[in-house]
Chain A
Amino acid sequence: MLAAKRYARALLEVAVESGRMESWGAELDLLARMTFELGARSTLTTPDLPLQSRIKAMEVISQQLGLSFPVRSFALVVARRNRIAALPEVALAYQRLVDERLGRARAVLSFAMEPSAQEIEQVVKVLERVSGKTVLPTVKIEPALLGGLVAQLEGKTYDLSLANKLKQAEQLLGA
Chain B
Amino acid sequence: MRAKGTLGVGVAALTLASLAVPVLAAEPDEAGTSAMTLGFYTINFVLFVVLLVRYASGGIKNYFSLRARMISSAFANLEGALRDAQAQAMQAAERVRQLPFEKARIEALIRKQTEQDVEAIRQAAHNLAAQIRRDGEAAARSIAEQAERQLRSAVARSAAQMAREMLREHFRPADQHRLVEDFVQEIAAREAQ
Contact = CB atoms under 8 A, between A and B. Distances in A.
A173 B182 CA distance: 24
Interface string A158-172: 101011001101111
A104 to B, nearest CB: 18
A30 interface: no
B153 A147 contact: no
Nearest to B150: A174
Interface in B133-165: 149, 152-153, 155-157, 159-160, 163-164
What is the size category of the interface that chain A forms with chain B? 20 to 34
What is the size category of the interface that chain B forms with chain A? 20 to 34
A167 B183 CA distance: 18
Interface in A124-149: 125-127, 129-130, 146-149
Contact of A167 (B155, B160, B173, B188): B160
22 contacts: A112-B171, A112-B176, A112-B179, A113-B173, A116-B177, A119-B180, A123-B184, A126-B191, A129-B191, A130-B190, A146-B164, A146-B171, A147-B171, A149-B179, A149-B183, A151-B183, A162-B167, A170-B157, A171-B156, A173-B159, A173-B160, A174-B149
Taking chain A's interface residues, is the majority helix, strand, or loop, or is none over half, making it mixed?
helix
Q: What 5 A-B pairs have minimum CB-CB distances, sorted nearest first? A: A173-B156, A174-B156, A174-B153, A148-B179, A170-B160
Nearest to A158: B187
Contacts of B163: 166, 169
B189 to A, nearest CB: 10
Nearest to A131: B191
A130 B171 contact: no
A127 B187 contact: yes
A166 B171 CA distance: 14
A160 B152 contact: no
Given A111-B176, A169-B160, A170-B159, 16 more contacts: A112-B171, A123-B183, A123-B184, A126-B183, A126-B188, A146-B168, A147-B175, A148-B182, A149-B180, A158-B187, A163-B164, A166-B164, A170-B160, A173-B152, A174-B153, A174-B157
A173 B155 contact: yes
A158 B189 CA distance: 13
A160 B179 contact: yes
Which residue, B173, B175, B179, has most C-beta atoms of chain A within 10 A?
B179
Contacts of A112: 171, 176, 179
Contacts of B155: 173-174
B174 to A, nearest CB: 10
A125 B181 CA distance: 12
A130 B180 contact: no
